[in-house]
């Protein structure tokens, strides 16, 4: 009998085909009455597959008494209460490394979008305005002071790309790392010393609203904020206010606090580039994430070491 698996997120067709072949899969989105379903089938579920941005509610996990593993198809585990999973005896895995390059690429793309005003430039051509006018001048993106919040895998990927832009790179995090880049213990000091501030830190309860009005003020009226981590790390109303009142110059955002909802006030703002959480959304990376997620599941059911265990 295949093991019962509850799938909370969508995956690529190739990954789905393997899941469907190896497991008895129920897809959460196809379940008409979730409460009744959990009462009837909850006790048989052995594995949950979920996205980094989705995680799993502890209340749901508590209704799955045979649950052995939550396999996250993503690197972030901020939406999973790890202590609760330990208490419930549930393993947790994620998909680190395979998405680092794509997320770092997107951070640079957002910076270029904002500084070089590429969406406006493209609209200019598509709207047929080129023969009669020029778009407004943009800002140089190279040779600046770049700050990175979180010099982990993705932060280092961003730093490696920025090395080609000239300028200087500094970072903050709980502790200094073995790195040639300048360390600031305080986020405010890093923000004050940065033209472009990249958010690349893992989210947790402790990072909620970390980038608040005072950090944005420190970044200053010429400063640009780029976020490819989690929306929760930024005080979103404070960000909207800072942009609207020109306390900072611009922002490039791939993540939001209440996805898939982004604050509508941002939609009409100049100097803002928005993306619908696509940091890891390339065919190559999503395929690699799917494979790693499957490897973790297979290892769990084979009683083998989990390739990328979080818990
Ligand atoms: C994806 C992510 O949106 O890896 C993460 O933590 O947030 C993204 O890669 C998601 O996990 C895809 O399921």
**Ligand 1 center to 103 CA (angstroms):** 10
**Ligand 1 center to 147 CA (angstroms):** 23
Handedness of CA 143, 146, 151, 153 (dihedral sign): negative
pLDDT the model gives residue 40: 98
72 band by pLDDT with thresholds 50, 70 and 90: very high
Which value, in Å, is the radius of gyration of the alpha carbons in the chain? 21
Ligand 1 pocket residue status of 51, Cβ below 6 Å: yes
110 band by pLDDT with thresholds 50, 70 and 90: very high
40 vs 2: CA distance, rounded Å: 18
Q: Are residues 28 and 165 in the same domain?
A: no
CB 106 within 8 Å of CB 275: yes
Residue 79's domain spans which residues?
4-97+284-301
Mutation to probe ligand 1, out of 53, 203, 257 (largest number of atoms < 8 A from CB): 53
Assigned domain for 310 exists: no
170 vs 212: CA distance, rounded Å: 19
Q: Are residues 84 and 168 in the same domain?
A: no
Atom of ligand 1 nearest to the CA of 280: 9
292 vs 256: CA distance, rounded Å: 26
Ligand 1 pocket residue status of 280, Cβ below 6 Å: yes
* Domains: count for the chain: 2
Ligand 1 pocket residue status of 53, Cβ below 6 Å: yes
Q: Are residues 62 and 175 in the same domain?
A: no
pTM of the full predicted structure?
A: 0.97
Q: Are residues 124 and 265 in the same domain?
A: yes
**Ligand 1 center to 50 CA (angstroms):** 9
Order of strands, sheet of 91-93, starting from the edge strand that comes earlier in the sequence: 24-27, 4-7, 45-51, 69-73, 91-93
197 band by pLDDT with thresholds 50, 70 and 90: very high
What average pLDDT score do residues 185-194 get? 98
Ligand 1 pocket residue status of 76, Cβ below 6 Å: yes
143 vs 162: CA distance, rounded Å: 9
Q: Are residues 259 and 131 in the same domain?
A: yes
CB 9 within 8 Å of CB 50: yes
CB 301 within 8 Å of CB 93: no
206 band by pLDDT with thresholds 50, 70 and 90: very high
CB 238 within 8 Å of CB 210: no
Beta bridge partners of 45: 4
**Ligand 1 center to 133 CA (angstroms):** 41
What average pLDDT score do residues 14-37 get? 97
Assigned domain for 116 exists: yes
Q: Are residues 120 and 61 in the same domain?
A: no
Ligand 1 pocket residue status of 100, Cβ below 6 Å: no
153 vs 241: CA distance, rounded Å: 31
pLDDT the model gives residue 95: 98
Assigned domain for 35 exists: yes
DSSP 8-state assignment for residue 208: T
Q: Are residues 173 and 67 in the same domain?
A: no
Q: Are residues 114 and 12 in the same domain?
A: no
Angle at 308 between CA 307 and CA 309, to 5 degrees: 110
Q: Are residues 167 and 269 in the same domain?
A: yes
pLDDT the model gives residue 138: 98
Assigned domain for 306 exists: no
Assigned domain for 309 exists: no
134 vs 155: CA distance, rounded Å: 36
What average pLDDT score do residues 96-106 get? 98
Q: Are residues 72 and 123 in the same domain?
A: no
**Residue 211 has which token pair?**
């980038």
- Calculate the CA dihedral of residues 35, 39, 41, 43 and round it to 10 degrees: 130
**Ligand 1 center to 4 CA (angstroms):** 23
Q: Are residues 130 and 57 in the same domain?
A: no
pLDDT the model gives residue 271: 97
Q: Are residues 120 and 183 in the same domain?
A: yes
**Residue 117 has which token pair?**
């005003």
Atom of ligand 1 nearest to the CA of 103: 9
What are the tens digits of pLDDT across the range 216-255? 999 999 999 999 999 999 999 999 999 999 999 999 999 9
Assigned domain for 58 exists: yes
Assigned domain for 189 exists: yes
What are the tens digits of pLDDT across the range 139-189? 999 999 999 999 999 999 999 999 999 999 999 999 999 999 999 999 999
Q: What is the CATH number of the domain that holds 114?
A: 3.40.50.720
**Cis bond upstream, residue 260 (ω within 30):** yes
Share of the chain above pLDDT 70, in %: 100
Of 275, 305, 115, 280, nearest to 195 (Cα)? 115
pLDDT the model gives residue 22: 98
**Residue 85 has which token pair?**
């999973």
pLDDT the model gives residue 133: 98
- Which class for 28: exposed (0-12), middle (13-18), buried (19 or more C-beta within 10 A)? middle
Residue whose tokens read 């020109």? 246
193 vs 137: CA distance, rounded Å: 25
Work out the mean pLDDT of the chain and round it to a whole number: 98
- Calculate the CA dihedral of residues 105, 110, 116, 120 and round it to 10 degrees: 130
Assigned domain for 220 exists: yes
Residue nearest ligand 1's atom 13 by CA: 51
pLDDT the model gives residue 171: 98
Ligand 1 pocket residue status of 75, Cβ below 6 Å: yes
Ligand 1 pocket residue status of 277, Cβ below 6 Å: yes
81 band by pLDDT with thresholds 50, 70 and 90: very high
**Ligand 1 center to 279 CA (angstroms):** 8
Q: What amino acid positions are annotated as catalytic residues? A: 230, 259, 277
What average pLDDT score do residues 263-288 get? 98
Alpha helix segments (H runs only) across the chain: 13-22, 34-41, 58-62, 82-88, 100-116, 118-126, 153-162, 187-192, 213-219, 236-244, 283-301
Ligand 1 pocket residue status of 231, Cβ below 6 Å: no
Mutation to probe ligand 1, out of 50, 51, 99 (largest number of atoms < 8 A from CB): 51
């Amino acid at each position: 009998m295949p093991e019962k698996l509850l799938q909370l997120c969508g995956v690529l067709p190739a990954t789905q085909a393997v899941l469907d072949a190896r497991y008895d899969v129920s897809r959460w989105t196809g379940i008409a009455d979730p409460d009744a379903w959990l009462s009837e089938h909850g006790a048989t579920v052995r594995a949950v597959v979920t996205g980094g941005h989705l995680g799993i509610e502890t209340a749901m996990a508590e209704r799955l008494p045979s649950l052995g593993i939550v396999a996250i198809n993503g690197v972030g585990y901020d939406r999973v209460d790890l202590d609760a999973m330990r208490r419930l005896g549930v393993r947790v895995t994620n998909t680190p490394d395979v998405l680092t390059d794509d997320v770092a690429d997107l951070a640079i793309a957002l910076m270029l979008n904002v500084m070089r005003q590429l969406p406006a430039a493209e609209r200019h051509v598509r709207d047929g305005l080129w023969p009669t006018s020029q778009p407004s001048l943009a800002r140089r993106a190279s040779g600046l002071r770049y700050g990175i919040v979180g010099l982990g895998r993705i932060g280092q990927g961003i730093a490696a790309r920025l090395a080609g832009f000239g300028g200087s790179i500094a970072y903050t995090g709980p502790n200094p790392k073995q790195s040639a880049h300048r360390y600031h213990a305080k986020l405010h000091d890093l923000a004050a010393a940065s033209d472009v501030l990249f958010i690349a830190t893992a989210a947790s309860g402790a990072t909620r609203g970390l980038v608040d009005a005072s950090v944005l003020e420190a970044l200053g009226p010429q400063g640009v904020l780029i976020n490819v981590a989690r929306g929760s790390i930024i005080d979103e109303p404070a960000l909207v206010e800072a942009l609207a009142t020109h306390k900072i110059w611009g922002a490039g955002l791939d993540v939001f606090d209440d996805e898939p909802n982004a604050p509508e006030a941002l939609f009409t703002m100049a100097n803002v580039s928005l993306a619908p959480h696509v940091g890891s959304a390339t065919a190559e990376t999503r395929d690699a994430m799917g494979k790693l997620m499957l490897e973790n599941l297979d290892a769990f059911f084979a009683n083998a070491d989990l390739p990328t265990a979080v818990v």
